[in-house]
Amino acid sequence: MEISEQQIKPYYAAAIQPRVIGGCLDENAVDKNVAHCCELIDRAVAGTAQTMKGQAPKLVGFPESFLHGFGPARVRSFQTNSRMARSIPGDQTERLGEKAKEYGIYIAGSMFEVDENYPGHFFNTGFIIDPAGQVALKYRKINCSNSAVELSTSPADIMAHYSQDLETLFPVLKTPIGNLAIYICFDGLFPEMPRCLALMGAEVLIRPMGPQPTSGVEYVDTWRTVNRMRAFENNVYLIGPHWADSPQSESLVAEGHSMIVDFNGQILTESDGAREHFVVAQIDIERLRQRRKNQRNNFLSQLRSELYARVYAAKPCFPSGPDTDRKRGLLDLDEKWALEKDVYESLVARGIVTAPKS
């Protein structure tokens, strides 16, 4: 898409917080969830146009795994999760693409993806659909194989035969509403992930979030804190769509609190809980670019990246080097936890972390 050099006018973005039907509970869950999310897009566009002087949102974000849920927490396996994976592009993104074309909007979210080029694996893939209805960006979650609840494959697990191209690993979509990028749930606990996207040119980050095995004030506070810091330290807008409470899904906790954060780290809007809902806020790209022009407040301009890179190169942690080649996805949580134990013991042996006395 040709990008106009004209000034980008402020526009609205929406983070949609849907109920999700679990794919392990209902074999028709994906179709039902797609249809429901299309209805939610209709409601968000109509509702925003009524309250924002006729301006419908130009960017709509959905949470992680919003089309299929996750496998049951206690017995999650490669088999339970991989059977919910779909092709991207595919039937589901095509149906969402029809809504993108109807309203002239961008739609972002994530779902499990199967790719015939990588047999024995499935990915947790973020996507952005453009106003022409096409999948214009696809990002495969990097921080997943070491997550406590996930068994999808990270590109880092198969780097020996995966693209080394930075634009493939950390893609950014340049559009008439700014430079958009996506990272997913657990990715957000690693400051390197959004920082890499910012260095690739991102101005608006979408972070689809999934349900958690824990809940409470501490979780919600962490969700707010992390999102605010990632937006502030990278001078970006951050859109954080989360799940609504979903009793027809598997046994995980959905706290809601979808939000949109500005480049000063201020929460512009936030859902008041876990009910099905959407929140809307204004995105002002020109104001963001003016902020970045002030070098004192632009942390990207002050990065000592070459110096930091020396530490990363000298202190590898989770296996993800160029020769890494996992032949298949992790079969179950026991296999995952065994791998995590080996990595932790390596960190202790190399003096990176100190083991407790008991």
Q: How far is CA 296 from CA 12, 236, 299, 304, in A?
A: 28, 16, 7, 15
Say what the pLDDT of residue 339 is: 86
| CATH annotation of 11-349 | 3.60.110.10
Residue 27 exposed, middle or buried by CB count within 10 Å (0-12, 13-18, 19+): exposed
Cα gap 30→91, rounded to integer Å: 10
Whose tokens are 């997550």? That residue is 147
Say what the pLDDT of residue 90 is: 97
Among candidates 165, 185, 170, which has minimal Cα distance to 138? 170
Structure pTM?
A: 0.95
Cα gap 150→93, rounded to integer Å: 22
- Residue numbers of the chain with a pLDDT score lower than 50: none
Q: Give residue-wise pLDDT tens across range 232-275.
A: 999 999 999 999 999 888 767 788 999 999 999 999 999 999 99
Cα gap 25→310, rounded to integer Å: 48
Among candidates 222, 221, 256, 260, which has minimal Cα distance to 238? 260
Residue 344 exposed, middle or buried by CB count within 10 Å (0-12, 13-18, 19+): middle
Beta sheet of 173-175, edge-to-edge order:
173-175, 178-182, 204-206, 237-240, 259-261, 267-270
Q: Is 265 left (phi over 0), alpha (psi -120 to 50) or beta?
A: left
Q: Give residue-wise pLDDT tens across range 163-202.
A: 999 999 999 999 999 999 999 999 999 999 999 999 999 9
Which helix or strand (DSSP H or E) is residue 18 part of? Answer: none
Cα gap 354→292, rounded to integer Å: 39
Domain edges within the chain: 11-349
Residue 36 exposed, middle or buried by CB count within 10 Å (0-12, 13-18, 19+): middle
Say what the pLDDT of residue 251 is: 65
- Is residue 270 within 8 A of residue 92, CB to CB? The reply is no
